[in-house]
Amino acid sequence: MKLLSINVSKPKPIAYNGKIIQTGIFKEPISGTVMLREKNIDGDGQGDLKVHGGTYKAIYGYPIEHYSHWQQELNRDDLSSGQFGENLTVEGMLEDEVHIGDVFQIGTTVQLQITQPRVPCFKLGYKMGLPEFPKQFLESRRVGFYFRVLAEGEITAGDAISRLEIAAEPMSVTEILNLRFFDTNNHEKIAKARKLPALSPSWKKDFTRILQAKDLI
């Protein structure tokens, strides 16, 4: 596994539905060594802290392997690292092979733990110039994942990524995404998923609501 690119952006204003909003989705690759901190990477920022950023969505990772899929699917050759709003473009970390709660080390000091899949919002559609793209992105299951930061430190594009710990009850990012959006009647697995210690609180609440709606808790 490898860190291929570090991508950052300060929030920028865009016009959307007659309003001016702030977004940090326009990530651009940076070179050299950079500090990864508890809530984000130096030089980066989120436009709406109510739905982006925070402890459980501090860092967003996206697999480079999906870029070729989107190039073919969208017939585009202009996709570059950071295109999907990711902080870290990574190699060898596909969603069906990594789990909620897995812990990874980047370089010599940084430690990150996967907390949830990424759910795209309208800002991704805006950046792509395709208003319907968030739905297509979600349905593809090629969504990437968020990390919380267990140990801060410096990272550099090209750093090796190693898995330090596999979650005690491993449920893959893909499996969790499916339970939330596409397999919502699988109540037994949803009950298991909502108890995962590393899963973000917002996703635990989502799974709790699904079960409550069926009077299962």
Residue 141: alpha-carbon gap to chain centroid = 12
Please list, in sequence order, all residues whose beta carbon lies within 8 angstroms of the beta carbon of residue 205, skipping any fewer than 6 positions away: none
Q: Is the pLDDT at 131 greater than 80, yes or no? A: yes
Average pLDDT over residues 41-46: 90
pTM, 2 dp: 0.95
Say yes or no: domain 2-168 is CATH 3.30.70.60: no
Can you say whether the dihedral through the CA atoms of 84, 157, 6, 177 is positive or negative? positive
Helix, strand, coil percentages (3-state) for the chain, rounded to 5, are: 25, 30, 45
Please give the average per-residue pLDDT across 106-130, as a whole number.
Answer: 96
- CA Rg value for the chain: 17
Model confidence at 215: pLDDT above 90? no
> Closest Cα partner for 117 from 132, 130, 98?
98
Q: Please enumerate in sequence order all residues whose Cβ is within 8 A of that of 94, keeping only pairs 6 or more positions apart, or say none.
A: 63, 65
Give the CA distances from residue 64 to residues 46, 104, 148, 173, in Å, rounded to whole numbers and listed in that order: 22, 17, 20, 16
Percent of the residues in the chain that have a pLDDT greater than 90, as a whole number: 90
Q: Coil, strand, or helix at residue 138?
A: helix
pLDDT at residue 214 is higher than 90: no
Residues 153-172: tens digit of each pLDDT: 999 999 999 999 999 999 99
Query: In the predicted model, what is the mean pLDDT of the chain?
Result: 95
Query: Is the per-residue pLDDT at 50 higher than 70?
Result: no
pLDDT at 17: 86
% pLDDT > 70, the chain: 97
Token pair listed for 40: 């984000």
Q: Tell me what pLDDT residue 209 has.
A: 95
Q: Which residues lie below 8 Å from residue 75, measured CB to CB, with a gap of 6+?
A: none
Q: What's the whole-number mean pLDDT along residues 113-138?
A: 96
Alpha-carbon distance of 25 to 36, in angstroms, equals 18
Q: Are strands 110-117 and 33-36 parallel, antiparallel or unpaired?
A: unpaired
